[in-house]
């Protein structure tokens, strides 16, 4: 692909409660060359973030069970880990820019896989050393 | 009548001497009668008789009508006494002589006269007194039958006359009173009746046309005039009036002259004798049938309106122009859960409405005051605090001058309708979300399948079969509103396309409900296993068997897929999407584990997890 950065040094955290969709999103990120972690709930995601400082991208669904939904998680992550880039997807909600944390990107489900890959690459390019 | 009054004018100066003495002392010789000793016996006897009598008497004697009288008559003569004694009548009463002479002459011719109740004014007791006397003239005859004198016998009849006059006055007053009473009775259209003291007997009844008359006393009057069902109450009222001797008063039903039922207002009073005993009851009865029927009709019409208002579940209210509550229908109180209307009477109606409804209610009032009806919908709590959604019509009630006088507000509880509308909106949103989610699943299945497909043909086939399996699972879920499905049904539908022979695939387990995701997952897993079995496993030859079973033990769900009798199994070289789906994805839906064993005698798959729901990891 001719990237001048090393995507495997930039980890992505996929948060999705549906196992099938999560598996596909994880495969998508791995295929794009990123180290990928996965979580089924927001609480699980926070714990993973705490142990993996190399995670620079949060890719989360909105609807999920647990104490937080994806939007709350995104805001919490922006607050606690400001450098982490945020990608949000949902099948239910029409999410406006005002709902998103700063610099957050929204992808309506079902999303074109290439758009996600392009977004990940752009983020990787921006934060590359 | 006045003649004898004149006979004794200025009565009162009676001489202290008694008449017997005056007779003895009188100079009779100078009179036409001559000396007393010479008087004929008839005169002597008459004079003695007179003097001895206590009745006032006088005698007119002889052709000169010489006046003789006794003590009693002296009082009548008044100032003419004692000068009148022995004088001719025409000299004693010269002013009356013209009237007296014919009567006196006729008495001398043998006739008798009586004058009753002659009024006189006497001063017997020191004051002028109105008195009445009877006078009787009778002839006095001598032994030859010749009339020689006139005897006038009198009697004081003042007491009788006064009694008579009092009686006459009383009668006159009574007659006048009766006349007025008769006129009153005649002028009134009321019927009149009299009853015996105990009301057992009706003595008379003048029905005045509207009820039948009773002319002869009747003890059967109740049956004649009253309907059987009314008699008890009327009898009770009568008994109470009789017991207390107080007026009877009752509005009751009667049988009218034409036989139909009518109403009278009847009032009777006891009539008592001097001893205070009731002699009869006198009563009047007014025909109030028309009024009663009007009242009845009004009552019926009111009852009808009340019934309409009560049975309507609309909350029908009347407000004054200041929007204060003055009336709320019974049905309205029911739906508004008002237990006591007094608690809300006079309350400003718009304050019942919250939020936008409050603004709409104020606007509706302003509009109705301007004479224009309008409507709105909004939320308002019932009195018990239950939130309801209402469809409200507000319209002016016009007065006789055509201007709004009051305001009518009709609210219908459309909470259920509103909830249904909202539920439909939610459902549409939910459906859109499910579609998106399903599309995302389809996308994942297609992408995953194609990622590992060795050829377009293989990929196309696998995608079609997987989507078909997903579709069949969706069918089951559709029946339960996408919330749950029965495991037996899920297996049956998933395995159906792979059933090569009735007895080679079997499944059993307790009745169990799966969540929507579990149902989809187990469907896909069954499909993957069956497809693999048909290609390489127990269903690829003529004799292999597949047995599925499930159970729940200690809160753990376990599902087993066991193949037997198929060709020997060799572990695959790599793991494809199928095994990832079975082992990881479906296991995740059950919040458990999936384990695929490539046992040489047949593939085994064991899925363990939580039954009927996924516990969220903290």
Tell if the pTM clears 0.80, that is, is over it. Answer: no
The torsion of the CA quartet A110, A115, A119, A125, rounded to 10 degrees, works out to: 150
B170 domain residue, yes or no: no
CA-angle at B438, arms to B436 and B439, nearest 5°:
65
Q: Residue A112 sits in which domain range?
A: 7-127
Q: Residue B236 sits in which domain range?
A: 188-293
List the single residue in B with minimal CA-CA distance to A27.
B448
A1 domain residue, yes or no: no
Collapsing DSSP to helix, strand or coil, B149 comes out as strand
How far off is chain A from B467, nearest CA to CA, in Å?
Answer: 13
C-alpha–C-alpha distance, residues B179 and B458, integer Å: 131
List the single residue in B with minimal CA-CA distance to A68.
B618
Collapsing DSSP to helix, strand or coil, B489 comes out as helix
CB distance A42 to A19 below 8 Å: no
- Edge-to-edge order in the sheet of strand B202-206: B202-206, B191-195, B278-287, B261-272, B248-255
Is B451 close to A27, i.e. CB distance below 8 A?
yes
Please count the structural domains in chain A.
1
Is B439 close to A43, i.e. CB distance below 8 A?
no
A37 domain residue, yes or no: yes
- Picking from A20, A85, A32, A90, the residue whose alpha carbon sits closest to that of residue A58 is A85
List the single residue in B with minimal CA-CA distance to A67.
B618
* Residue in A16, A17, A24 to test binding to B, most B beta-carbons within 10 Å: A24
Structure letter (DSSP) for residue B351: G
Cis amide prior to A5 (ω within 30 degrees): no
C-alpha–C-alpha distance, residues B238 and B233, integer Å: 9
Name the domain boundary from B106, B132, B156.
Answer: B156
- Picking from B539, B519, B520, the residue whose alpha carbon sits closest to that of residue B529 is B539
B374 domain residue, yes or no: yes
Determine the pLDDT at residue B122: 74
Partners of residue A63 in chain B, C-beta under 8 Å: 433
CB distance A23 to B448 below 8 Å: yes
**Structure-token pair, residue B374:** 């309008």
List the single residue in A with minimal CA-CA distance to B520.
A20
Shared domain check, B409 and B449: no
The torsion of the CA quartet B480, B481, B484, B488, rounded to 10 degrees, works out to: 30
- Edge-to-edge order in the sheet of strand B113-122: B66-69, B57-61, B147-156, B129-141, B113-122
How far off is chain A from B441, nearest CA to CA, in Å?
Answer: 6
C-alpha–C-alpha distance, residues B504 and B488, integer Å: 17
A52 domain residue, yes or no: yes
B404 domain residue, yes or no: yes
C-alpha–C-alpha distance, residues B3 and B61, integer Å: 20
Shared domain check, B141 and B235: no
Q: Which domain CATH number covers B271? A: 3.30.450.20
Determine the pLDDT at residue A102: 85
Is A20 close to B442, i.e. CB distance below 8 A?
no
Please count the structural domains in chain B.
4
Does any CB of chain B come closer than 8 Å to the CB of residue A99? no
Tokens 């499944």 belong to B507
Determine the pLDDT at residue B193: 92
> How far is residue B579 from each of residues B4, B254, B527, B583, measured CA to CA in Å?
163, 101, 12, 6
Shared domain check, B326 and B273: no
C-alpha–C-alpha distance, residues A120 and A126, integer Å: 10
DSSP string for residues in B169-195 = HHHHHHHHHHHHHHHHHHH---EEEEE
C-alpha–C-alpha distance, residues B169 and B167, integer Å: 5
CB distance A88 to A111 below 8 Å: no
Q: Distance between alpha carbon B499 and the CA centroid of its chain, in Å?
A: 81
Radius of gyration, CA atoms only, chain A: 13
Longest CA–CA separation in chain B, Å: 203
B306 domain residue, yes or no: no
Collapsing DSSP to helix, strand or coil, A79 comes out as helix
Structure letter (DSSP) for residue B615: P
- Picking from B114, B106, B109, the residue whose alpha carbon sits closest to that of residue B147 is B109
pLDDT in tens, B492-535: 999 988 877 668 999 999 999 898 888 989 999 999 999 999 98
Residues of chain B with pLDDT under 50: 1, 9-15, 613-618
Tokens 């068997």 belong to B545
**Structure-token pair, residue B134:** 């009877």
Radius of gyration, CA atoms only, chain B: 66
pLDDT confidence of A129, banded at 50, 70, 90?
low
Is B517 close to A91, i.e. CB distance below 8 A?
no
Shared domain check, B103 and B59: yes
B302 domain residue, yes or no: no
Is B617 close to A40, i.e. CB distance below 8 A?
yes
Shared domain check, B445 and B395: no
Shared domain check, B317 and B221: no
Q: Which domain CATH number covers A11? A: 3.40.50.2300
Determine the pLDDT at residue B68: 94
Partners of residue B445 in chain A, C-beta under 8 Å: 20
A101 domain residue, yes or no: yes
Does any CB of chain B come closer than 8 Å to the CB of residue A65? yes
Helix H, strand E, coil C: the string for A82-126 is: CCCEEEEEECCCCCCHHHCCCCCEEEECCCCHHHHHHHHHHHHHH
Name the domain boundary from B244, B265, B293.
Answer: B293
pLDDT in tens, B360-393: 999 999 999 999 999 999 999 999 999 999 999 9
Determine the pLDDT at residue B614: 41
pLDDT mean over A12-22? 93
Determine the pLDDT at residue B117: 85
A2 domain residue, yes or no: no
CB distance B152 to B137 below 8 Å: yes
Determine the pLDDT at residue B11: 43
Helix H, strand E, coil C: the string for B555-589 is: CEEEEEEEEECCCCCCCCCCCCHHHHHHHHHHHHH
Partners of residue B579 in chain A, C-beta under 8 Å: none
């Amino acid at each position: 692909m001719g990237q001048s950065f090393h995507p495997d040094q930039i980890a992505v955290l996929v948060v999705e409660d549906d196992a099938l969709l999560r598996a596909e999103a994880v495969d998508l990120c791995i295929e794009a060359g990123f180290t990928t972690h996965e979580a089924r709930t927001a609480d699980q995601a926070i714990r993973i973030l705490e142990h993996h400082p190399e995670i620079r991208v949060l890719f989360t669904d909105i609807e999920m069970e647990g104490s937080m939904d994806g939007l709350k998680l995104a805001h919490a992550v922006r607050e606690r880990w400001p450098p982490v880039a945020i990608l949000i997807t949902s099948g239910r909600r029409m999410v406006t820019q005002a709902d998103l944390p700063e610099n957050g990107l929204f992808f309506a489900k079902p999303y074109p896989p290439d758009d996600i890959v392009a977004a990940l690459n752009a983020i990787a390019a921006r934060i590359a050393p | 009548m006045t003649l004898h009054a004149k006979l004794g004018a200025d009565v009162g100066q009676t001489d202290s001497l008694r008449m017997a003495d005056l007779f003895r002392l009188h100079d009779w010789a100078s009179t036409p009668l001559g000396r007393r000793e010479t008087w004929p016996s008839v005169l002597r006897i008459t004079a003695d008789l007179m003097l001895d009598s206590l009745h006032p008497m006088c005698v007119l004697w002889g052709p000169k009508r010489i006046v003789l009288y006794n003590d009693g008559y002296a009082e009548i003569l008044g100032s003419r006494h004692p000068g009148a004694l022995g004088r001719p009548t025409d000299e004693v009463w010269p002013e009356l002589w013209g009237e007296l002479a014919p009567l006196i002459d006729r008495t001398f011719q043998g006739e008798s006269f009586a004058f009753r109740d002659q009024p006189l004014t006497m001063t017997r007791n020191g004051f002028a007194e109105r008195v009445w006397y009877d006078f009787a003239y009778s002839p006095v005859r001598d032994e030859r039958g010749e009339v020689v004198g006139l005897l006038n016998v009198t009697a004081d009849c003042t007491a009788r006359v006064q009694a008579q006059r009092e009686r006459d006055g009383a009668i006159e007053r009574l007659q006048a009173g009766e006349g007025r009473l008769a006129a009153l009775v005649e002028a009134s259209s009321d019927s009149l009746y009299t009853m015996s003291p105990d009301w057992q007997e009706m003595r008379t009844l003048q029905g005045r046309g509207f009820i039948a008359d009773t002319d002869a006393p009747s003890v059967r009057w109740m049956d004649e005039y009253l309907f059987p069902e009314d008699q008890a109450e009327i009898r009770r009222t009568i008994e109470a009036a009789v017991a207390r001797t107080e007026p009877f008063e009752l509005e009751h039903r009667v049988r009218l002259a034409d036989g139909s039922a009518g109403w009278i207002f009847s009032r009777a009073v006891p009539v008592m004798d001097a001893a205070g005993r009731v002699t009869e009851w006198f009563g009047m009865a007014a025909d109030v049938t028309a009024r009663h029927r009007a009242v009845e009709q009004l009552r019926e019409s009111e009852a009808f309106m009340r019934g309409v208002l009560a049975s309507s579940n609309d909350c029908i209210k009347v407000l004054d122009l200041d929007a204060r509550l003055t009336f709320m229908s019974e049905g309205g109180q029911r739906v508004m859960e008002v237990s006591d209307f007094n608690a809300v009477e006079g309350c400003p109606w718009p304050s019942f409405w919250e939020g936008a409804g409050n603004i709409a209610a104020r606007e509706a009032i302003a509009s109705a005051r301007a004479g224009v009806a309008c409507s709105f919908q909004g939320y308002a709590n019932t009195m018990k605090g239950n939130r309801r959604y209402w469809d409200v019509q507000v319209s002016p009630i016009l007065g006789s001058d055509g201007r709004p006088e009051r305001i009518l507000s009709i609210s219908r509880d459309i909470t259920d309708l509103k909830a249904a509308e909202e539920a439909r909106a939610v459902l549409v949103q939910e459906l859109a979300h499910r579609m998106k989610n399903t599309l995302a699943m389809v996308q994942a299945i297609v992408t995953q399948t194609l990622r590992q497909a060795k050829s377009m043909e293989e990929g196309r086939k696998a995608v079609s079969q997987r989507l078909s399996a997903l579709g069949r699972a969706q069918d089951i879920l559709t029946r339960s509103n996408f919330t749950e499905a029965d495991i037996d049904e899920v297996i049956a539908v998933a395995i159906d396309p792979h059933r090569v022979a009735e007895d080679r695939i079997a499944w059993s387990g307790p009745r169990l409900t799966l969540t929507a995701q579990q149902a989809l997952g187990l469907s896909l897993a069954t499909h993957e296993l069956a497809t693999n079995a048909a290609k390489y496993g127990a269903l690829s030859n003529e004799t292999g068997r597949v047995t599925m079973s499930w159970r729940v033990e200690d809160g753990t769900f376990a599902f087993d897929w066991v193949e037997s009798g198929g060709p020997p199994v060799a572990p695959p070289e790599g793991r494809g999407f199928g095994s990832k789906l079975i082992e990881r994805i479906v296991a995740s839906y059950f919040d458990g584990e999936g384990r695929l064993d490539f046992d040489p005698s047949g593939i085994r798959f064991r899925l363990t997890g939580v039954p009927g729901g996924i516990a969220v990891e903290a």
